[in-house]
Structures are given as C-alpha cells and as structure tokens.
Amino acid sequence: MASTFPRDRLLAKHPGAVTERVWIRRNRRGGGTCSRPGFTGRTEAVRAENPREYSGLRRAGASTALACARRRGRARPLECPAIGITGMDDMVFQDSRARFPGWLATALLLAAAPGARAELPSLSLTLVKDLNTAPAAGSSFPDAFVAADGRAYFAASTPGAGRELYVSDGTEAGTRQLADIVPGPDSSEPLVIGVVNGQVILRAGTTAPARQFWSVPTGGGTPRQLTTESWTGDYTVPSPRVVATTGSRFLFRIAGESGVWSTDGSAAGTVHMVEASGFPAANTLAACSMDGFALLAGSSGPGPFQLVRTDGTVAGTQSLASLPYSGNAVAARVAGHCYLLLNKFGGGWSLWASDGTPGGTAELSVNNGASAYVMAATGDAVYFSDRNVTQDRVRMLRSSVAAPQPQLVKEFIGSDHWIEGIQAVGDRLLFFHRLGSMRTLYLSDGTSAGTRAVFPLEPGQSFRTTDLCPVPGGVVLNAWDELKRLDLATGAVTQGPDSTVFRMDASVLVGGMRLGRGRDEQTGDELWRGDGTPAGSSRVADIFAATADGIFADGSPEQASSVLVDDVLVFTGASDPTAELPLRTAIWRSDGTAAGTYALPRSAYDDGSTAAVARLGDSVIFATGGWSHVPYEIYRTDAALGMTTLLASGIAAPVSMQSSADGGAVLFGCDGSLPSTSLCRVTANGTVTAAGPSGVDFSRFRPIGEISGIAVLQRTEAGEIWRSDGSVPGTFPLGSRHAPYGPIPAAVFGGRLYFVTCDDAGCALTASDGSIAGTQTVFGFQDAELRAMAALPDRIVFSLQYAARVELWASDGSIGGTQRLIEANGFRSTAIAVAGGNAHLVAFGSLDASGGYIVSDGTVAGTRQPPLPASFVAYDTTMAALGDVAVVFGCYSQSSGAELCAADAQGMDARALPETSPRSSGLPPSVIRSTANGAYVLADDGVHGRELWYLRRLPDALFADGFQPPR
C-alpha cells in the first residue's frame, strides 16, 4: 500500500466502531503500550477530532483513541487484547516506510471496547416521494382580519411556520406571509391592531406572558419588538383596544390597564402614557382620529373627566374642556368635528362636539331624563338613540354642525321597545328595532320619511352589528346562520352566499370585496373573497397547500402488507395514481430514492385493489380484489416490478399470506381457487398446490412464525393454532390451546418457536418444535398481555402488559430459567428490537425519569433505563433495529409532539431525530421495515400527507473515500 497519509491525517480505524464523523491524528506528546505475543513497541496516542478542525481534537462525547505500534516493514497481525482487537482482519494497515521511518501507528477507537461509551451513527431522515399529489384539505384557518391601505392583514397557519402574519390584496399573487416572528414551526399567534408609518402594529409571542407588541413593515422585512412588559394579573395575555391614530402615531389601550400606549412603529418611539407621566387621559373611554392629532375623552386618577388633544406624546397633549363624569362614552367623527355622547353619572346624557380647539369645543345638547346608547356617523351628521323610561319611548336622533340640536328621525312608543345597534354603511343607516322577542331590521337615509322596516326576523332570532357586512351596493346579514343580502338602494332582500362556504363574519372589506375565511372539501379552511352574492364567493389562495395521503392510515403497509427483498421495500396499502376510484390501492416498490419508488402499472393485473403481499425468493406475490372486483386473485412480480404473472384466481375471500423463513414458499388463503381446500402453497418455481385439509376454513389466518421449515399460524375465526409443512397431511392443529386475538409476538430460540397461547385458565409462554408432542407451555400468567418478544443469543425476552405497568421478562426455555428483569410504570409497550445483543423496549406512559425506555442484555444486572433527550418520553408507536448498531423508536415531547428517537446498541446515546411532523395532528411516524442500512418510515409532515420516508444510515466519513486521504 502506498504511503500517502501526512502526519495529521487518519492512520486506521476499527471497522466495527460506532461513531459519528471524526478524524484521528497522531499526538507526539502522548504515549502508551500495546502488545502482541513477543513484541512491545513504542506507541503514540491519538485522539478523535471534529472533521472541520484538524487540531484541538476532543469534542463532546468523543472517545479517546489508542495507538498500537509495530516495527517498520512488518506485516504480522497485531493484537490489542485489552480492547478486543486481534489479527489483520480487524485492522487497516498503512505502510509508512517512506514517510514515517521506524514506526507505524494504527488508531483504534475505544468505542469498540467493552464498557466504552458507544455512539449513535449518523442518520438522515427524508421524504422519499409524494405518492399522492392530489390536493388535500390542509386548512390554514385564516382569521383576525384587519383592513388597511387596500390590503388585509391576518393570521394563518402552516406546519413549517406555525401561526404567523400574512397579507393579501385579494389576489393569489398578492397573498404571502409577511413575517415569521417566531421562526420555525412555533407560532407567534399574531393579532393585528393597526397600521402606521408603513408599519403593521400587532401583538405576538409564543406563550401568554411572553406576548409583546411588534411592528412589521407593510412590504415585509425584519420584525421589531416594541414592548418588553411583564403582563400580570387577569391580563397575562394583553388584550389591546384601538384608541385612535394621529397620522404619524398609533394609540391603543390594554384591557385592565391604566394608560394609553403610543407608537410610531419603532421601539424608541413606543411610550406608555400614564398618569405618573402627566398624561391627563390615562383612562380613555372614547376617541376620534383627526387630521394630525387625536381627541380623547377620559381622566387620570382622581383628576377631572376631560377632552384632550394629543399628537401621541405627553408633551404634545393639551386639555380642551372639562366634561361631565361619565361611565360610558362613544365618539364619532363627521365634517371635521368629533362628536362625543356621554352617559352622565346620576342619569341623562350630554352631546358634545369639537374641532380640536378650545373655542371649537362645546356642549350641544343635554337630556337629564334619558339614557343614550350607540352612535354612528354618515354624511354630515351623527345619529344616536336614547330611551326615556318614564315616557316609555325610544328614539333615533340626528345632529349635525349645521343643525346641532338633536332632531327626531324615528320614535317607538312603549316600554318593550328598544333600538339595538346603529351602523352606517355608505350614506345609509341600519339598525334593529326590538319589541319583546321580535326583531326587525330598519334601513334609513337619515330622514323620517326615508326610514323603513326591510327585514323582519323570526321570534328568537337575533343579530349583532358585526353580522352586518358591507358589500358593493349592499350589506350581507346573518339571519340565523342563513346569509341574506340587502340592497341599500331598493331595500330588497335576496339570498346571500352559502354560510358554510364563506364566513362573512370573519372577513373585512378590501377594494370592493370582502376577504376572509372560506371552506371547500378540496383545500379546507383557506383565504376566500366574496361580493355578497351566492355565486360571488371564490378561493383566493391555498396558504396551507397540502396533498392527500399516499399511504392510507387505515391500510398502512405494516408487517402484513410489506416485504423486503434485500433492501428494496415492496408494499401495498398505498395510493394508485392511475385509479379512477379514490382509496384504491396499488403495489409499490422503493429503494429509498424518489427515482427508485414507483407503482406497478394497473395494466399488469386486474382492476381490484391490492391486498396482502409476501416474499417468494427474489420476487413477491400479492393479492388483488375488493371494491367491485371479487373474487380475489394472486399475482407474482419481481422486486423491480418488471414482470407480473397470474398464479391463482377465483378466491372467494380476502387473502392471508405467510412466507417461509428462506422465502422459498408462501402459504396463502385460496378458498375457491383449488377444489376441497382453502389453504394453498406456492413455491419459487410458481407451482401452486393444496396445503390445507378439506372442510377447514383458512380464508383468514394470522401468521405466527416458523420453525425448521414448519409454519405455525392461527385460524382467525376459531383462534386455533395450526402447523403446516406445506402439505395436506402435514397441516394439523397443535393441541387444544388457542392464540389470543390480535398480533401474536413470536421468536425462535434454541430450535423452538416461542409464542403465547391461552385456555380457560389463562395464558402462557409456549415453546414448539412444530410437533404436537414438542409443543409445551413454559410460563403461565394472568391479567396480562404478552405484547412483545425477541431472541437474544442465550435466551428470549418478552414483555407482559398489565393495567398500569409493563414487566420485562427473560427465559432460557425452562420455568426455572424464567425471571422478571424489570417493572416499569406504563400502560402500553411496543415490539422489542434487538441490537448489539441488547433488547430495547418502550413502556409508554411511564413517569420515570428515563421516560419509559428500557434496555436489557437479558439479565437483571444488565437491565437499565437509560435517559432520553431532555423533555422527551418514550412513545409506543414503533420500535425497530438498524442492523446491530442502533434502534429507532417512538418518542414524544410537548414542543414537537410524537416523533422518532434513535439510540445506539447499548442505549447510552439516545437522540431525537429531525421532526417529520411539526405540530401535526396526524398519526405519529412509525417504522414499516428496517435493515442494517436504514429504515422505511411512515410519516405525515402535515403538508404531503401520510407518505413514505427513509431513515438512512450515513456512511462513515472516515472511509467514504475508499480509504484514500482527503486532499
């Protein structure tokens, strides 16, 4: 071998070491000894280092390395018995005579040594392919719309960004995310309150106490945090209420808090104007936005109730007039004046008007015998209602600059009459008249003659003013969940849009249309637009653009419907891209790449959906049928899905299958295909023969396992346990005990198949050599389920699930050699995966600090509960081994939900894998099948639906270049 390695490059590595990507270099200061029989040489110590750095070596969790020396030119095996390395096969040698005369150092990672800290190999989890690209109802649930500058600002959700700030001008091209205030899948829950100086002002934050006020440029850009308050008391989530704008500043209040917040959109320009700062209207009850200033009616502490003018700063605030004390006030701007309607303490109302100057501020009218309610402005006048209890009347009144004294518009006589809600829409007014339980909608042009009833409601029906939604030329009202459109010119009421399609009450008026939330079956709740007519509603943008499930949740390719041919996965239960009927399934294959993932063309088989699949040599067989296609048929195809042949037809019932351990034959249910049998056997040459006795129904059976070429299975309908060697005479029951309902865990150990059987007295761990005489119970138990089982080199391990605990047991096949290893809190357990001679199990629901993750070598002393990553607990969704070096299992945290974790063979290095389902409410990810090189995973990322992913074990970077040194 050529001598090419410089002194600071890799010399050698033990191939079996479990490590991340590391480099190794010599350290001249180190020293030590390493011996083989008859030889001891000078050594140099080496250490592991980050590949990005060729010095400074030690990283968190890295193992120290040891150098073993040999004399120049000697190619004899070198032994390091202390770390279990012996002989040439365990080493990679490099002749160093040209560069390193007199010595050769060979680096060995102590990760391979007993008792050393093992490490998880590098893993990559990626979506293989979107098998079904049909649109699906993702639903971004847009809401909290605010209209400003001809656009709508609102909150919407996607899996990757969470709930964040969006903007739309009513077109798909003009709809986009404006800011991701909390990066990643976490949500900022934005609540827009207004726009000023080209800045959107909003409340946002991950949690209630952390929510603050922010600004975001209307054209997009970096969000700026405006406040750093600690919200306390009953208002840990600050609830803002818009006060007014001055043109250059935006004013708002927080519910339950004294003071007015003023901002120009910058942090430095955001101030809290309170009593202590000298602000005279800290408790503002009503306000008007004027030209360059705002008028506020309020008080501070024990000070007077007054009208003030402000530019949004304390220094720029002046008092205009003292007002009567009021517990309720409303304001409206019209014709350059701000009108204030005050309900006075002690009774009566007072109407004021102001142009923003002391001389232009005056009380217009007062009524000490009535209470005032709501007010609206249109044209050059304001309109409000009052109610006089002693006179049993309620009135609609009008006031203007030209005629300031209130004038009567409409009057109702009687104690049961009320006017509810006055709303200005263009140059028209809308209000409700209530008499007892009857309500009627009125339309008015502001005159007595032009005020008329237009829409009577049924008894018990009610309206809110927010249910009146202006649209071009009219208004849409929600009449008991049925939308009606009122023409403002004629007063005619016609049918409105479908309330189940477009939410008028969750929309705003932008540019002559309403933008809000709508829904259809294809995309779910998304951004829609509407003009108030039945045909005028349409989707604007599919913000959460999801695709449908490629692998159906109720027919996922788990163990019964997927097989591995070498590293290729062949599976069913997945979408057929050519089928006309939804949910029709096809046969797919995947090598873990998009190019190598495709479906078998439907032209290769009949028109039915695909069902079970099983391995037959280097090929697979699969069943088709269901839907309108009965009977079922059995086909054979190769792993590349290149050639398909029909093996059996005329099968009357759904098909069960069981492959032999070597893949040389398959048993399958074949009722109706061959005479006098419902169990058939097909061999690698394609020959189909009868395998079951006449009169016994094997149309549905559940595979248990195989021992010495004998299949053990359960007849599902009867629960009986049978054995079969593939012939009619060799197929018979294994005694009178039955198998429990559901999946039956099994393992082969010591020439016997272990599984669970039950009778009236209880259940037991049972061992069988495939004969009746050789089938015996080993260990009985009650009030528990045997949920998982696996074989270790010298025993089997199995889990018993009780009501609130999981027990892990081990057995050498004898009652004396059966013992409990550990008991853990939990109410569900997964399958057991074996890696590196250790059994790995999850006890879901555990309150232990370990999070319910158990690792055992089959002994009590060797059974432990290693810690999981911080904030994670084990989750019983899946458990699988990646060869002999790692396991993959379900885990859960409050922040990420159900995900996948992985651990090394000893369970000492457990980590959470990258999220596949950020905040998704879909089914948790699970492993379909696994090999030494990776695992096929079923996961839903919230965008592509439930699809096929691949967890790849990355090649070690040390040898990725074929042992050639990096240049």
Q: What is the 3-state secondary structure (H, E, C) of 558-618?
A: CHHHEEEECCEEEEEEEECCCCCCCCCEEEEEECCCCCCCEECCHHHCCCCEEEEEEEECC
pLDDT, average across residues 910-929? 80
pLDDT at 825: 81
Instruction: Output the CA torsion 562→557→128→624 (10° steps).
Output: 70
What's the confidence (pLDDT) of residue 477?
A: 85
Note the pLDDT of residue 553. Answer: 52
Strand partners of residue 147: 152
Confirm if 10 and 65 have CB atoms less than 8 A apart. Answer: no
Q: From CA 25, how far away is CA 54, in angstroms rounded?
A: 8
pLDDT for the residue numbered 123 = 93
Terminus-to-terminus CA distance in the chain, angstroms? 18
Distance CA 744, CA 740 (A): 7
CB atoms within 10 A of CB 896: 20
Which three-class secondary structure state does DSSP give residue 645? Answer: strand
Q: Which among 834, 876, 882, 878 is positioned nearest to 857, based on CA atoms?
A: 834
Q: Is the pLDDT of residue 746 over 80?
A: yes
Bridge partners, 86 (sequence order) = 79
Residue 627 CA: distances (Å) to CA of 576, 610, 623: 14, 10, 13
Comparing 135 with 929, the larger pLDDT belongs to 929
> How much of the chain exceeds pLDDT 90, in percent?
56
Q: Is pLDDT at 20 greater than 70 in this prediction?
A: no
What region, left, alpha or beta, does residue 392 occupy, with left being phi > 0 and alpha being psi -120 to 50 degrees? left
- Per-residue pLDDT averaged across 266-275, rounded? 95
Q: Residue 93 corresponds to which tokens in the numbers above?
A: 């040698």
Instruction: Give the Cα separation of 521 and 138 in Å (integer).
Output: 10
So what's the pLDDT on residue 622? Answer: 92
Distance CA 351, CA 338 (A): 11
- Which pair of structure tokens corresponds to residue 456? 């009577």
Q: Which two tokens stand for residue 460?
A: 């018990």
DSSP 674-711: BTT-SEEEEETT--EEE-S-TT---SSEEEEEEETTEE
- pLDDT given at position 581: 57
796-823 pLDDT tens trace: 999 999 988 899 999 999 999 999 999 9
Burial class from Cβ neighbours inside 10 Å (0-12, 13-18, 19+) for residue 206 reads middle
Taking alpha carbons only, the member of 863, 843, 839, 838 closest to residue 853 is 843
Q: CB atoms < 10 A from the CB of 125, how many?
A: 21
418-428 pLDDT, tens digit each: 998 899 999 99
pLDDT band at residue 851 under the 50/70/90 scheme:
confident
Give yes or no for residue 51 having a pLDDT over 50.
Answer: no
Calpha distance 906→118 (Å, rounded) = 7
Torsion, CA 423, CA 424, CA 426, CA 429, rounded to 10: 90
Pinpoint the alpha helices (H) of 347-446: none
- 132 CB contacts (<8 Å, ≥6 apart)? 547, 548, 549, 550, 575, 577, 945, 947
**Vertex 141: Cα angle to 136 and 147 (nearest 5):** 130
Whether 10 shows a pLDDT value over 80: the answer reads: no
Lowest mean pLDDT among 36-40, 209-213, 265-269, 913-917: 36-40
Secondary structure class of 248 (helix, strand, coil): coil
- The residue behind tokens 């200061």 is 29
Of 443, 444, 437, 432, give the one whose Cα is nearest residue 407. 444
Residue 565, Cα to own-chain centre: how many angstroms? 32
Confidence of residue 170 (pLDDT cuts 50, 70, 90): very high
Q: Let me know: does 168 contact 156? Beta carbons within 8 Å.
A: no
Whether residue 631 is preceded by a cis peptide bond, meaning omega within 30 degrees of 0, is yes
DSSP codes of every residue in 867-918: PPSTT-EEEEEEEEEETTTEEEEEEEETTTEEEEEEEETTS-SEEEPPPSST
Average the pLDDT over each of 270-274, 547-551, 786-790, 935-939 and give the range with the smallest value. 547-551
Q: Which of 933, 847, 852 is nearest to 890 (CA)?
A: 852
Residues in a beta bridge with 756: 765
Helices (H), 762-902: none
